[in-house]
Structure 1
Amino acid sequence: MTSVSPTREGYPADLRALTSLRAFLALGVVLFHYQLQWDPALGFSPIIERSRLAVDAFFMLSGFILAHVYGPSFAAGTFSYRRFIFARLARLYPLHLTVLLGVLVMVLGALAFGVRYDPSTFTVRGFFETLFLVQAWFPSAVGQNWSGPAWSLSAEWFAYLLFPAFAFLAVKFGRRPWALVIVSLIAYVLIDAVYRSLFGKVLPRAEDDMGILRIVPAFLLGMALHGLGRGLTWSRAAAVCLALGSTILLLTAMQMSLDDRIIVALAAPVVFSWSMLGKSQCEGVLASPPLVFAGEVSFALYLVHMPVIVAWKGVIAEMRGIDSAFRVTPLELVGLFVATCALAIALHLVVEKPGRLWIRERSARWT
């Protein structure tokens, strides 16, 4: 989430508010899955239910940050696709492989001890599709549970492979970023229409089932938002007011359970206005070390929270002799959250950061 060197495009090198934003987005996804597990009698939060759409904001953030980091070199003709791909592999694979292998151990353990599970979502084909991050590239009638949230990594990988095409458009519209915003929105409307005609559901519902279509307009919009901010200068008061206003508007729309596509559209001003906090040098508490660290750990939290839920419910169901679809108590959820956060921090420090550094050091010798 942090650029490797200062840019010459008006933004600070380190957009800390956007790193912190990742923490809130990941927390929203976790709470969404937790809400599916608790007793409906405990209540229902529309904001939490709509937090599943944080994935679309992640896609916008990816486009924005990659434009921030690699846009100048692409425009100058010094961009190296090979180095870019190795850097993206370093970003995704150490943690992805660790979580996937952890789930494989869980499944093999269930087979060895006769623990019941749904084999239709743990197929050999699904394992290898998840391993190579292509599970969201094809139509699928059955979701994959090997590493559920990793479908979005599959979509990200797709966007990374096509990054030169996205970057070409961003450079082409460099002096007309508003035009690229419009192109992105038109692309979203058209892809949504095609997706609805093919699969009978709106684009923000795309996951394992051709989820790559979901990232294309969002990723492009993120790059367009970066270009839009290059030519703007806001006062601190304006940046704070617009960031606060856009965030409140988004949360209100979520609470009102508005159409998924409206909420996705309202996420764009949040990403944009939070980036302008950095440009206006008024990130405040969003730049605090604890929040920034939480944002850095968010990838691990996002990936590992579902396997932890599955493991817990599987073990408890087997011990009690009940179906694993049982409802989890609030106390259990609190314990799961604490344990998941601890595991995410450990994976970030022990696997993600060292793994990323190891791959980058090796790839530097080959590029």
Structure 2
Amino acid sequence: MSLPSSSSESVPPADLTASPVVHASRPATRGGALDLLRLLAALLIVVYHFGAESPMRIERFHPVFARGYLATDFFLMLSGYVLGRAYGPSAISGRITHFQFWLRRAARVWPGHLMVLAAMAGLVFALNLIGTDAHKPSRFAWDQLPLQAMLMHAWGFNSDGWNLPSWSLSALIVCYALFPWFWRAANWTRRPWLPIAAAAVVVAAFDVASRRTNGFGFSEVSIGLSDLPLRIGVLRALPLFLLGLCLARAVELNWPSEKTATVLLTAGCVGLVILQLIGRFDLPSLVCLAAIILGAGRLPVKHPKAWIEEGAKLSFALFITHILVGVIYWSAVHKLIDTVPIGIGWQWLMWIAGFPLAIGAAFLFHTYVDQPVQDRIMPWVRGRGR
């Protein structure tokens, strides 16, 4: 499950976890296109990570399977968009303070992260106790555990093992802290396209700077923004989060028109598919992703689907638990394959079986662990913020 550079990553949860605050003057935002895209991207991330465990690496079928980092970029932008729509006006009006906002977001992602990390540490400890190792034991260095627990491992520290996707949580914790200032900056003009253009320039500048400095000095070769090592993931998250936030500001100003939004959504989806079929084009792909978010976000949800909304809510649990499920399942599968002759067909069936297991585990975690914990701590967090 550990892949090099941009490969060994995952979808950030935010805001797989954010439930937009829908004001009376706004159309419904849940159960529509953005929630469906969120769910599909989360599922693709699981395919991407589990692809390393297939009988034959799935990117051999097509290079598109090696570009799961685009789903990460999508969620980083979507995080800024969702939080801008949910909290932007409140941040400007003062209904929610800087500290209240950060505390609520940290309280939403930290408990789930800690619970899964503790379960993973307990599993690895138990396996070591009986004289065996978890699948790919080099990923579980005990001296990296404190940084993981404190969500500091995407701030330049060399700690990208354990629950690999949590690097995005670490990066987003910083984005949450900067959100009020970012949102105020996006409000400096009433021209909706101008903040988007400025944020796009920032994204391009970060990409150019990364290529000219060999990943800001963290790589031996020239790499783009999406290839930055996970230990400096915060440098990747910040410009993309800012872009998503500026997209939210445009929608707040009722831009573009619904007709144009439909064109943007369609063109973004078609363009993204074509780009992936013909080769790797990261910056044009980011443009397509931004068009998809802007188009889908601007269009009202006329026929919300409950299953889409529930699936989107499940995405955070799937994001945070699928590596733990993989450690358990693939440890058992590879041990079995090493000891018993198993045909390639059965190996593919066992690989496919990993997906319903991951989804089922995510459902159980969301329903019986994460949501009950949130129900208990959020009232305290809101009171503490006041």
Q: What is the rounded CA distance, in whole Å, between the counterparts of 1:22 and 1:165 in structure 2? A: 26
Q: What is the rounded CA distance, in whole Å, between the counterparts of 1:57 and 1:28 in structure 2? A: 12
Of residues 281, 289, 295, the one that matches 1:267 is 289
- TM-superposed CA distance for 1:269, in Å, is 0.5
Deviations 1:54-75 (CA, angstroms, capped at 9, x unpaired): 1111111111111111111122
Of residues 70, 76, 84, the one that matches 1:67 is 84
- TM-superposed CA distance for 1:11, in Å, is 5.0
**Count of residues paired in the alignment:** 354
1:239–1:277 CA contact under 8 A, matched in 2: yes
Q: What is the rounded CA distance, in whole Å, between the counterparts of 2:296 and 2:188 in structure 1? A: 25
Q: What is the rounded CA distance, in whole Å, between the counterparts of 1:73 and 1:298 in structure 2? A: 26
Q: What is the rounded CA distance, in whole Å, between the counterparts of 2:272 and 2:167 in structure 1? A: 25
Of residues 169, 172, 183, the one that matches 1:153 is 169
Question: What TM-score, normalized to structure 2?
Answer: 0.84
Q: Which runs of 5+ in 2 are unaligned?
A: 1-17
Distance 1:231 1:162, change over 3 A: closer
AA partner of residue 183 (structure 1): A
2:20–2:82 CA contact under 8 A, matched in 1: yes
Distance 1:45 1:187, change over 3 A: same
AA partner of residue 35 (structure 2): T
1:306 aligns with 2:323: yes
Find the counterpart in structure 2 of residue 76 from structure 1.
93
1:54 aligns with 2:71: yes
Deviations 1:89-141 (CA, angstroms, capped at 9, x unpaired): 2320232122111111121022112213555432233211111111111153x
Distance 1:228 1:149, change over 3 A: same
- TM-superposed CA distance for 1:223, in Å, is 1.1
| Within-5 A mapping of 1:277-292 | 277-278=299-300, 281-282=301-302, 284=303, 287-292=304-309
| Within-5 A mapping of 1:114-153 | 114-117=131-134, 120-140=138-158, 144-153=160-169
Q: Which runs of 5+ in 1 are unaligned?
A: none
1:333 aligns with 2:351: yes
Distance 1:75 1:243, change over 3 A: same
Question: What TM-score, normalized to structure 1?
Answer: 0.88
- TM-superposed CA distance for 1:190, in Å, is 2.0
Q: What is the rounded CA distance, in whole Å, between the counterparts of 1:320 and 1:39 in structure 2? A: 10
SS at match of 1:162: helix
Find the counterpart in structure 2 of residue 111 from structure 1.
128
2:325–2:358 CA contact under 8 A, matched in 1: yes
- TM-superposed CA distance for 1:258, in Å, is 2.3
Find the counterpart in structure 2 of residue 182 from structure 1.
197
Of residues 25, 28, 34, the one that matches 2:50 is 34
| Within-5 A mapping of 1:322-361 | 329-361=347-379
Q: What is the rounded CA distance, in whole Å, between the counterparts of 2:245 and 2:259 in structure 1? A: 25
- TM-superposed CA distance for 1:352, in Å, is 2.1
Find the counterpart in structure 2 of residue 364 from structure 1.
382
Deviations 1:324-358 (CA, angstroms, capped at 9, x unpaired): xxx99321122111111111011111122222222
Q: What is the rounded CA distance, in whole Å, between the counterparts of 1:170 and 1:79 in structure 2? A: 18
Q: What is the rounded CA distance, in whole Å, between the counterparts of 2:169 and 2:140 in structure 1? A: 18
Distance 1:236 1:167, change over 3 A: closer
